[in-house]
Structure 1
Amino acid sequence: MTSLIRSYGKGLTALFLALTAAWIVLLIVLPQLRMIERAFTFTDHGGEAATLAQTIDRHYTRLFAIDTDLRDLTARKEAAGAPAPAPAAPSLVPSPSLAPSPSLTPSPRLVPSPAAPSPSMTPSPGLVPSPGMAPSAASGPSPEELDRRIAELEAEKAELQQKLAVLEEEERSNDAETGFNESYSLKNFTDMSEIHLKIFISTLFYALCVTVLAFLVCYPVAYAVASTRNANKLAFLMLGLVIPYAINELLRIFSWVMILEKQGILNGLFDALGLIDMGAGEGLRFVASNGAVFTVMVYAYVLFMVFPIYNTIDTLDRNQIEAARDLGASIWRIHWRVVLPHAKPGIAVGAIMTFMLSAGSIAVPEIVGRGLHPDWFSQVIYRRFFEADSWNQGAAYSLALLVACLVFILVNMAVFRVGIRDIAK
């Protein structure tokens, strides 16, 4: 505080502190308090509205099953070399908010039917293509049978969408006439469906995978940059790390989509090498797995891992490395006994930042292979808020993810045996 006053004077220091306090209160404290309040507020729809809600849930569950089957049948038809069927006419969808996306969990309600397949799981081993590849057309129904089944499913989907439009309008009218009761409860958490719970646990595992991959990629890079003595080489390496981030994150994500798509650059390279024939419909469906999502996330968040590690390794006394070499230590032992212990605070910071960014990312899993890989919990939260119009449950899901991230931070600090002061350095 004294140094701030000496450097900037009492007026500017007071202004800086006031703006900081306003930022913390308005953008952090108040939104979090509001989210916690809504997370514990349960809206009880009684009477006829409850019956309508159950009927709507069943229809949305069936819609999800139809969308899953349509994706599988379309993939099989593409593998057989036939053109994909045209999507259902948009005129049958009463409202954009009512049209379920194939990649999304269809039900905006709390608990889907037990028969509902999990979007985080492979719905049917006989229909779904293996991750990253186009399905095989060696066996299965004929193209005529596939066309007939697709047409039947499209007709049933259109009929369900029309029924849902009527039922949801009736539900809104009931709410306006009879109202609903709100009370503080844990039901927004305890009513989390089995599907959403599986997605929640899977997302934490996925984010951990991204964090480990980012460390494996970034540690050698950080060590190489920190060990460089040539100023020009150091500037070149740092510039190579920073330049990609001059491009908007969405553009970086879409560039990877252009690379990994079935008709993308990577398959074009394989076609040029004669490994596949894109003209015959061949090509690897890289975006149809979480591997593509992991790759894009590691690329998107690489700086959040590499710079904390670089900053700590850069403070390491090089004499310790030279002494270890003189004593006959191998390169692996030098890193295990000298470099890694010194870099623990940087690794902890990088792991925390990468994990939290990955667990909360909505852009990457939504854009890369949308509908072709298991859902992430961030997508479920987005739908709770903006598609299902269930803000209370969306707040509960957000709070659950926040608590999971805080637990990860504490576990991470315990594993690396670092404290707040070590991380702050």
Structure 2
Amino acid sequence: MNSLIKSYGKGLTSLFIGLAAIWIVVLIILPQMSMIDRAFTYEDRGGAAATLALEIDRAYEDVFQINTRLVELQAEKEDLIAGTSTAPQQDSASALNPFATPAPSDDTTGLNPFGTPSVPEANDTSGLNPFGAPSAGNTSAVSRSLAEIEAEEAPLLANKGELEARIATLEATEKSTTDAVGLDTSYSLKNFTMMSSVHFQIFLATIIYALCVTILAFAMCYPVAYAVAMTTNRNKLAILMLGLLIPYAINELLRIFSWIMILEKQGVLNGLLDLLGIINMEAGEGFRFVASNGAVFTVMVYAYVLFMVFPIYNTVDTLDKNQIEAAKDLGASTWRIHWRVVLPHAKPGIAVGAIMTFMLSAGSIAVPSAVGRGLHPDWFSQVIYRRFFEADSWNQGAAYSLALLVACIIFILFNMWVFRVGIRDIAK
């Protein structure tokens, strides 16, 4: 305080403190208090309205299960279609791929993935190898498989349409019933205890996903932070810093969509594989990179890499380089130097980076919603969004948000315990 007054005077210091206090109260304390109040406020809609709310929740869960199954069927269908389109082009594909083993001229069964001719039994009409790929020359089994998929898909689509129409009707009826009888509110834990099993599974999965993103970010950022911290050439250091910072001058959504263009089935990465002759995009081949959480992890690591790399760099940069030289002179290996010298010194930076990356990943809505939308398991942030803006259940959405916040706080405390750091160490 005294240093601020000496630097800026009493007037500016008072202004800075007042603005900081307003910021904390208006943007942090009041919203959190409102969220906590809503989370513990249970709205008893009474009678028919309560029954309608329960039916709406169950209908949403049914739609979620149907969407999950439809995604699986669509992926299976695309794989079969791609296999059918590439089967007649076996020779051309092998010409492009120097590692392919050509099939004998009298072999009509195709090759299995290990390059040995597959010999079907007399009663085998499936036409599929052990991994489900169609064998060349046998398209009847594929058409039957596609027909079976479409036969399973049609009632699911019809059921989904009926459920969505039913949800719209139930929500309109619930609103009119609630307006007529009003709401009976009381403080309770029901908003937490009424969490469905599906939502609870998504909650646990999101915590695991955020941990995976944090570990991947550390694995990528630690070598970068160490290399930058050990650089003695100022020009090289400036170039490395600019290389890290320049991409983040672009809006986050634009960076997310650029990754979507890279990872989509018709995207840049598949185009590169096609150029190398590994796949044939004209024949419908291509990897569905966005159809898994791996794509979400990749984009999140890229989006939040600065929050991991700079805390680690700041701590490693303060390490006395003579300690590393002494360890080398004593015969320590590179791995032992990092394990016994660098990592212990960098613990506060690693803790800060892990905390920031985990919390940003667990609460992210833009990345899981935009990358492979509907093609990977839901994240809990998406469930919270739907609670607020689709199910119009703000109290339960607040309860879900509070549960995620508590999980993040537990992670922070656990992180501090693992790295044996305190608040003062992190503040440095």
Q: Same fold (TM over 0.5)?
A: yes
Q: Indicate the residue corresponding to 1:4 in structure 2.
A: 4
| CA distance, structure 2, for counterparts of residue 39 and residue 365 of structure 1 | 24
TM-score relative to the length of structure 2: 0.83
AA paired with 2:308? M
Cα distance change, pair 323–382 in 1 and its aligned pair in 2 (3 A): same
1:95-129 Cα deviation digits (max 9, x unpaired)? xxxxxxxxxxxxxxxxxxxxxxxxxxxxxxxxxxx
AA paired with 1:380? V
Q: Indicate the residue corresponding to 1:39 in structure 2.
A: 39
Q: Indicate the residue corresponding to 1:267 in structure 2.
A: 270
More helix by share: 2
Which of 251, 262, 285 is matched with 1:282 structurally?
285
Q: Indicate the residue corresponding to 2:296 in structure 1.
A: 293
Q: Indicate the residue corresponding to 1:356 in structure 2.
A: 359
1:291-328 Cα deviation digits (max 9, x unpaired)? 11111111111111111111111111111111111111
Cα distance change, pair 224–65 in 1 and its aligned pair in 2 (3 A): closer
Q: Indicate the residue corresponding to 1:119 in structure 2.
A: none
Equivalent runs, 1:201-240 vs 2, <5 Å: 201-240=204-243
| CA distance, structure 2, for counterparts of residue 135 and residue 203 of structure 1 | 31
Q: Is the 8 A contact 2:61 2:198 kept in 1?
A: no
Q: Indicate the residue corresponding to 1:255 in structure 2.
A: 258
> Helix, strand or coil for the counterpart of 1:81?
helix
Cα distance change, pair 309–62 in 1 and its aligned pair in 2 (3 A): closer
AA paired with 2:330? L
1:244-292 Cα deviation digits (max 9, x unpaired)? 1011111111111111111111111111111111111111111111111
CA apart distance, 1:59: 3.5
CA apart distance, 1:136: 5.1
Cα distance change, pair 225–241 in 1 and its aligned pair in 2 (3 A): same
CA apart distance, 1:146: 3.9
Cα distance change, pair 178–286 in 1 and its aligned pair in 2 (3 A): same
Q: CA RMSD in A?
A: 1.9
| CA distance, structure 2, for counterparts of residue 232 and residue 336 of structure 1 | 29
Equivalent runs, 1:75-86 vs 2, <5 Å: 75-81=75-81
| CA distance, structure 1, for counterparts of residue 348 and residue 194 of structure 2 | 39
Gaps of 5+ in 1: 83-133
Q: Is the 8 A contact 1:79 1:137 kept in 2?
A: no
| CA distance, structure 2, for counterparts of residue 384 and residue 136 of structure 1 | 41
> Helix, strand or coil for the counterpart of 2:185?
strand
Aligned-pair identity (%): 73
Which of 405, 413, 416 is matched with 1:413 structurally?
416
Q: Indicate the residue corresponding to 1:29 in structure 2.
A: 29
Q: Is the 8 A contact 1:286 1:292 kept in 2?
A: yes
Q: Say whether 1:143 aligns with 2:146.
A: yes
CA apart distance, 1:69: 3.4
Q: Indicate the residue corresponding to 2:326 in structure 1.
A: 323
Q: Is the 8 A contact 1:76 1:137 kept in 2?
A: no
| CA distance, structure 1, for counterparts of residue 65 and residue 356 of structure 2 | 36
Q: Is the 8 A contact 2:63 2:163 kept in 1?
A: yes
Q: Indicate the residue corresponding to 1:107 in structure 2.
A: none
Q: Is the 8 A contact 1:261 1:285 kept in 2?
A: yes
Cα distance change, pair 55–196 in 1 and its aligned pair in 2 (3 A): closer
AA paired with 2:264? E
Cα distance change, pair 417–58 in 1 and its aligned pair in 2 (3 A): closer
CA apart distance, 1:382: 1.0
> Helix, strand or coil for the counterpart of 1:80?
helix
Equivalent runs, 1:308-319 vs 2, <5 Å: 308-319=311-322
Q: Is the 8 A contact 1:76 1:136 kept in 2?
A: no
Cα distance change, pair 266–402 in 1 and its aligned pair in 2 (3 A): same
| CA distance, structure 2, for counterparts of residue 299 and residue 244 of structure 1 | 10
| CA distance, structure 1, for counterparts of residue 158 and residue 319 of structure 2 | 67
| CA distance, structure 2, for counterparts of residue 223 and residue 304 of structure 1 | 15
| CA distance, structure 2, for counterparts of residue 201 and residue 385 of structure 1 | 20
| CA distance, structure 1, for counterparts of residue 58 and residue 40 of structure 2 | 26
AA paired with 1:14? S
Structure exhibiting the larger radius of gyration computed from Cα positions: 2
Equivalent runs, 1:366-405 vs 2, <5 Å: 366-405=369-408
TM-score relative to the length of structure 1: 0.84
CA apart distance, 1:75: 2.7
Q: Indicate the residue corresponding to 2:246 in structure 1.
A: 243
Gaps of 5+ in 2: 83-130, 136-140
CA apart distance, 1:203: 0.9
Q: Indicate the residue corresponding to 2:174 in structure 1.
A: 171
CA apart distance, 1:149: 4.2
Q: Tell me how many residue pairs correspond in the alignment.
A: 374
